[in-house]
Structure 1
């Protein structure tokens, strides 16, 4: 066989093998997969998941991880503290697609300033309004630490799959008569809400905040149905 043809076949084979071990989109496999069940704690007891450490990593870090700017909004509800969120829709991370909602940590004066300078205010429900932040506040928001992560998988999760990946929960808390059940993993700072009529939600917080999370779930469950 002609030497040039042989080298051409060899080169084509090497290229095919290289492409075969690449992920869709031409991305190489993640050396450290950022999967929802890979949760660790740092020396201070802060949860680390998806390569982000709660209370330390910032919105800028999340944007770098997901290669997306997301949508930042301030939610104001009657009788409750304001909540600053960054929403990322249908993000692919380590081969899994999910929505991410990052709750950002800001003090009262910062939140008040964001509200007063808000570019647009819209009512989402009778009790809640959503504020779009002003452009001049975006740089400051990018440096705020992540307090909590809501991870909403595109694919529905069943109990068997959750048990195989996360183990048996420490406790299970029903959400009133809605059919939603919250599985609590205190040591990991994790709550998984199983919804037979909708999407499952994995909520990550620091273990020190789990008791407050449980109280919030119980209070919501105690509210009368509308």
Structure 2
């Protein structure tokens, strides 16, 4: 039923997008631009140029910050904005920030809470002092988790036909749009995820997704 409602809602949107009202087509997940400066513009942000502070100002929302420690002890810094309304849709937003190994180690050592994840990773909550330090970090990847799920035909209709599709699990496919610096995890059971990247970071993003453990592909 959720998939059916999603199809009906997005089909209505497709019809609305042909109208002259500019508000109808603003801030949509398929509105992606590669700039001459080597960044990706989406949701009024420029990945590779926009800082965490600027995203906070744009969305009027303060995120929770955590260092993610993978099963192989790789570290990354993520800002969790929770559910936001962008354009006509609601979605959960997560920004992965640019942080060098020394910063990641510092933040992980000074964590204030350690939580296990289903994938075998650990979520290490960042201290208040380190949250302030992270405000000027650049956004490397933006993860957009829509409330509704997208059928393959609707993805092709709005994002284009040029995706490379790789099967990750029995129910999860990865869709890669290299020309748009976009990757998707499309789960037949629900829980789609869109990953936006700057051009220079897209190859690393693709490798990261292809190496996801099966459990994490479902998170």
Question: Would the alpha carbon gap of residues 193 and 83 (structure 1) be closer, same or farther in structure 2, given more than 3 Å must change?
Answer: same
1:109 aligns with 2:91: no
Conserved? CA contact 1:174–1:221, under 8 Å:
no
1:128 aligns with 2:127: no
Deviation at 1:153, TM superposition (A): 0.7
Deviation at 1:163, TM superposition (A): 1.2
Q: Structure 2 CA distance, aligned partners of 1:30 and 1:62?
A: 21
Unaligned runs of 5+ in 1: 1-28
Relative CO higher for 1 or 2, CA cutoff 8 Å, sep ≥ 6? 2
Report the TM-score when normalising by structure 2. Answer: 0.80
Partner SS, residue 195 of structure 2: strand
**Residue 142 of structure 2 aligns with which residue?**
149
**Residue 198 of structure 1 aligns with which residue?**
190
1:71 aligns with 2:68: no
Q: Mean Cα displacement is larger for which, 115-124 or 186-195?
A: 115-124
**Residue 210 of structure 2 aligns with which residue?**
218
Matched positions, count: 194
Conserved? CA contact 1:150–1:203, under 8 Å:
yes
Task: Tell me which stretches of 4 or more aligned residues in structure 1 moved more than 6 Å.
Answer: none
Deviation at 1:73, TM superposition (A): 0.9
**Residue 93 of structure 2 aligns with which residue?**
100
**Residue 3 of structure 1 aligns with which residue?**
none
Question: Would the alpha carbon gap of residues 219 and 76 (structure 1) be closer, same or farther in structure 2, given more than 3 Å must change?
Answer: closer
Deviation at 1:211, TM superposition (A): 2.7
Conserved? CA contact 2:140–2:201, under 8 Å:
no
Partner SS, residue 211 of structure 1: helix
Unaligned runs of 5+ in 2: 1-21
Q: Structure 2 CA distance, aligned partners of 1:191 and 1:178?
A: 18
Alignment RMSD (CA, Å): 2.2
Of the three residues 40, 43, 50, the one matched with 2:36 is 43
Larger Rg: 1
Report the TM-score when normalising by structure 1. Answer: 0.78
Deviation at 1:101, TM superposition (A): 0.8
Q: Structure 2 CA distance, aligned partners of 1:194 and 1:122?
A: 26
Conserved? CA contact 1:188–1:206, under 8 Å:
no
Conserved? CA contact 1:72–1:87, under 8 Å:
yes
Deviation at 1:209, TM superposition (A): 2.9
Question: Would the alpha carbon gap of residues 117 and 41 (structure 1) be closer, same or farther in structure 2, given more than 3 Å must change?
Answer: same
Q: Structure 2 CA distance, aligned partners of 1:210 and 1:86?
A: 19
Partner SS, residue 191 of structure 1: strand
